[in-house]
Amino acid sequence: MGESNSIKQIIEEHYQTLSKKQQLVATFVLQNLTFVATNAAHEVGQRTNTSETTVIRFCYELGLEGYVHLQKEITMYLFNQSSSSSLGNYISKQTNRTARSALEVAVQKDIEQLERMVSSIDEDLFQYATKKLHEAESIYIVGVDASQYAANWLYFVLHLLRPNVTLIRTETHELIRTLEKIDENAVVIVISLHRYAKETLQIAQYLNKKNVQLIGITDSNIAPIHAYISCTFVLEQLEHSTIDVMPSLISFVNALVTGMTAQDSEYYEAGSINFDTIEQQFILDKWSGNNHG
């Protein structure tokens, strides 16, 4: 193993060359690092419906000496991610945790997650994506299940700032008509979190064949959405948890909007002022004597 690569990166780099059963193990390991670090190989085999032999062969495929070596690398990875600078800081953080309020612990956890996200995002790719959003004639957003919450929020914010923003709803009979309307002048933002809803993947696959500009947001470097979208942002986290990734997800979609408005701040500021004026007039009319409705 190269010193510059973490065990997480090693697994992701080898993923496509693994057998199907070994890929099941790889996915489980990436999503359950703490479990793997503290449990035996046969237990991982049981959890993945494979076997202890498959788990050990998976370790060899990564260039490791065995399962114990895998556990060691995972432990070091988790330690490095949890420790801000030194062993002393790490131990202090753990021993003082019981004395800290639940609020402080939760907020600190979110801050650390946001810092990891910022460090993992490719700045050039981010600039490319926000420029495409600014230039697009229309923007479509799709997210299913847990991804739907961020999709709704992103739609709400973009709809305030610019015209022709559509939230794709997969559960309606209008879906096919909506997909047919999307052309090369549009940008489609696809949010796909574990468990990677098949509807989202089917939409991405269909639009990819139409050469539509797609921007993906997901939670893993081996998520299936990568097969259809080259411009994809991965929100890094220590272990798989749809709930835990939400602060980073909302922060990132807000950053996308900020990046888009930075492309032409005067235009978006003027639009915001116009919206505020209309909203104020609506309120005045509603509550004034001129309202006869």
pLDDT tens sequence across 169-184: 988 788 999 999 999 9
The predicted structure's pLDDT at residue 2: 45
165, 40: one domain: no
54, 188: one domain: no
54, 170: one domain: no
The predicted structure's pLDDT at residue 288: 64
255, 197: one domain: yes
The predicted structure's pLDDT at residue 199: 94
DSSP tag of 171: T
Residue found under tokens 């959003």: 133
The predicted structure's pLDDT at residue 86: 39
124, 256: one domain: yes
Pick the last residue of a domain from 82, 99, 131.
82
Token code pair at residue 51: 């076997």
241, 180: one domain: yes
Query: Is 286 part of a structural domain of the chain?
Result: no
**Domain of residue 73, CATH code:** 1.10.10.10
Query: Is 165 part of a structural domain of the chain?
Result: yes
The predicted structure's pLDDT at residue 57: 97
Q: What's the domain count of the chain?
A: 2
The predicted structure's pLDDT at residue 85: 38
Helix ranges, the chain (H)? 7-14, 20-31, 33-38, 41-47, 52-61, 67-82, 87-95, 102-120, 123-135, 147-161, 175-181, 198-209, 242-262, 265-287
The predicted structure's pLDDT at residue 102: 77
The predicted structure's pLDDT at residue 90: 41
The predicted structure's pLDDT at residue 100: 60
177, 236: one domain: yes
Q: What is the dihedral of CA 108, 30, 206, 258, to 10 degrees?
A: 20
**Domain of residue 138, CATH code:** 3.40.50.10490
Token code pair at residue 101: 């309020």
Query: Is 78 part of a structural domain of the chain?
Result: yes
- DSSP three-state, residue 202: helix
- DSSP three-state, residue 142: strand
131, 38: one domain: no
Residue numbers in the chain where pLDDT is lower than 50: 2-3, 84-95, 99, 292-293
Q: For residue 164, what are the domain limits?
A: 119-262
Query: Is 53 part of a structural domain of the chain?
Result: yes
161, 228: one domain: yes
10 Å CB burial of residue 278 (0-12, 13-18, 19+) is exposed
Query: Is 216 part of a structural domain of the chain?
Result: yes
